[in-house]
């Protein structure tokens, strides 16, 4: 154990991938192709994807939720951790991006595990609550528009069971959260969200400085 963080240089990041990453070939190809996309920054890092896979396994997840699909990288990692009959309800608004996600799900053999709900995610989450799905999800991953993070989290708290895990991406926002000169709406929203979770006693909490920062909240 250590009281300090080891700085992650590019060379050390490469080493970490060399000795830990077990990325399926179909996901590697998709990730590398996405590196050329104008919105490549929305792509989950491979270490994060593998970490989500591990968390879903540790949670014994069979029913999970994803808010923000993009091209299907993170949802595929999680789906590969689910047993036969497991299900992800995946929320996104983009037909364009999720068309690529469907292809990756199909190539990875997990298409039958993913129920894609196209439309505003808050409306989808509210519908799930109204349909009686409260307390029935084992795991949730939130990686969507930052202005709605608090609202997504509140819905996820209703939908996830006690002892279930909620994971939220981009909570370090490329370091902007500690830069006082950054006062744009997204940065302020993430700062407010981080403060909210720090004070919220409804879950146990840890922030993992992996990728752009992942907050883990276990619902009590």
Helices H / strands E in the chain, number of each: 8, 7
Please report the domains of the chain, with CATH numbers, ordered by start residue.
Answer: 10-219 (3.40.50.150)
157 in Cβ contact with 67 (< 8 Å): no
Q: How far is CA 204 from the centre of its chain?
A: 18
The pLDDT of residue 122 is above 90: yes
Half-sphere exposure in the Cβ direction for 145 (13 Å, CA): 11
Q: What is the pTM of this model?
A: 0.95
How far apart are alpha carbons 122 and 118 in whole angstroms?
11
Q: What is the pLDDT of residues 35-64, one digit of tens each?
A: 777 776 767 889 999 999 999 999 999 999
If you average pLDDT over each of 10-14, 97-101, 162-166, which comes out highest?
A: 162-166
How far apart are alpha carbons 208 and 202 in whole angstroms?
19
Q: Vertex 95, ends 44 and 105: CA angle to 5°?
A: 55
Using the structure block, give the residue that is written with the tokens 């992650």. Answer: 8
How far apart are alpha carbons 220 and 201 in whole angstroms?
8
173 in Cβ contact with 186 (< 8 Å): yes
């Amino acid at each position: 154990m250590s009281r300090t963080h080891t700085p992650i240089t590019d060379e050390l990041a490469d080493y970490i991938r060399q000795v830990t990453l077990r990325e399926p070939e179909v996901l590697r190809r998709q990730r590398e192709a996405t590196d050329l996309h104008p919105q490549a920054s929305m792509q989950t890092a491979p270490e994060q994807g593998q970490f989500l896979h591990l968390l879903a396994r540790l949670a014994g997840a069979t029913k999970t939720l994803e808010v923000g699909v993009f091209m299907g990288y993170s949802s595929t990692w999680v789906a590969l951790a689910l047993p036969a009959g497991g299900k992800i309800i995946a929320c996104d608004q983009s037909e364009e991006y999720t068309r690529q996600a469907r292809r990756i799900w199909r190539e990875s053999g997990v298409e039958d595990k993913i129920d894609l709900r196209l439309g505003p995610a808050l409306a989808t989450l509210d519908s799930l609550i109204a349909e009686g799905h409260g307390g029935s999800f084992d795991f949730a991953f939130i990686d969507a528009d930052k202005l709605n993070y608090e609202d997504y989290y509140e819905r996820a708290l209703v939908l996830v069971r006690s002892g279930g895990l909620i994971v939220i991406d981009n909570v370090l926002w490329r370091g902007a959260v500690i830069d006082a000169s950054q006062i744009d709406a997204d940065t302020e929203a993430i700062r407010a969200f981080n403060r909210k979770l720090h004070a919220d006693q409804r879950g146990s909490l840890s922030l993992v400085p992996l990728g752009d920062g992942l907050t883990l909240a276990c619902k009590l």
